Amino acid sequence: MKFMLQMWRYPLGKLPILSGKDICQILKKHDFSEVRRRGSHIVMQRILFNTTITVPVPDHKEIRIGTLLSIIRQSGLQRSDFELK
């Protein structure tokens, strides 16, 4: 049972360590634009037909994996867009 849980938990590719600027470049490729900067955060935004998606991105050299997963979830993009190829 424990082995099955581990296989289920990590079926996807490995997420790299990205900087805030790297993440902004990936978001820009998917029609996000920089709205503003405040302190050490960049706010990226994508306008859709009836909604707006806003994603704050820390402007740090290395973004922690948990923060990167949160950015992926908020942006609505696929995890594979951020994975190592």
What pLDDT sits at residue 12? 58
Please give the chain's pLDDT, 85 residues, in tens: 444 444 444 455 688 889 999 999 999 999 999 999 989 999 999 998 899 999 999 999 999 989 999 999 999 999 888 886 5
* Alpha-carbon distances of 20 from 2, 11, 25, 46, 50, rounded to whole Å: 36, 25, 9, 17, 28
Instruction: Residue 72: give the domain boundaries.
Output: 2-81
What pLDDT sits at residue 83? 83
Give the global pTM: 0.80
**What is the tally of structural domains in the chain?**
1
Looking up residue 68, the CATH number of its domain turns out to be: 3.30.920.30
Question: Radius of gyration (Cα) for the chain, nearest Å?
Answer: 14
